[in-house]
Structure 1
């Protein structure tokens, strides 16, 4: 997943993001630590986000079997968003990325937005999206 994508964007695990890191470990180690409650904050990127913080990085279009465009996928984003205490989503500030409902829920935010939706889905209490950072604004959710 390292390196430049076709669209000209760099992936979260790319060399530019890892340069001068204090630690560099495996995904399975981080996922295990997140499951144990040891990871305070995760940072993700996505192609689409809706008002409930659900992320799509899998496909565009209404038909899963014949999508308009297939995307790189989760790459571990689901584990980060479901297990870290807080989540920051970094996304380009473009109208097409902020949608009413994502085409595919790759990583669940607050699902349908109703109180306790994450817990009913079996996700840890007090976890989920915290902020969305763009080049023009910083958004957040009231818990």
Structure 2
């Protein structure tokens, strides 16, 4: 009887500790890849053309990797369960001439809207800095 209680106690402890170790393991959380937006090949081409045109006059970098990228966001969007859509953000590094960059943004905004595969974004937002001040240009998607 004592052996049976020890075995039953061991099974109980293992049945509690094993799920805690597997699902609540903080070491595993740090190893997961952070979600990032992975653009389609067509969108990459459009952004590269935009970057090349801007780089004829100034040296800039274009970044789109901080957008909402979780599987749950896209799944909820497809099932129409989102309360509000997020913005698709495009960050341009510091620029020197505002008017030139604005013209290129206005030229490429319709092309970028067309190439975004998922219709789960509310608007297209460009952010860039001029002498430390941040400027934002926004375009509605729909």
**Is the pair's TM-score, using the shorter chain for normalization, greater than 0.5?**
no
- Report the structure number with the largest CA radius of gyration: 2
TM-score normalised by structure 1 residue count? 0.31
**Which structure is higher in helix share?**
2
The two structures have a TM-score, normalised by structure 2, of 0.31
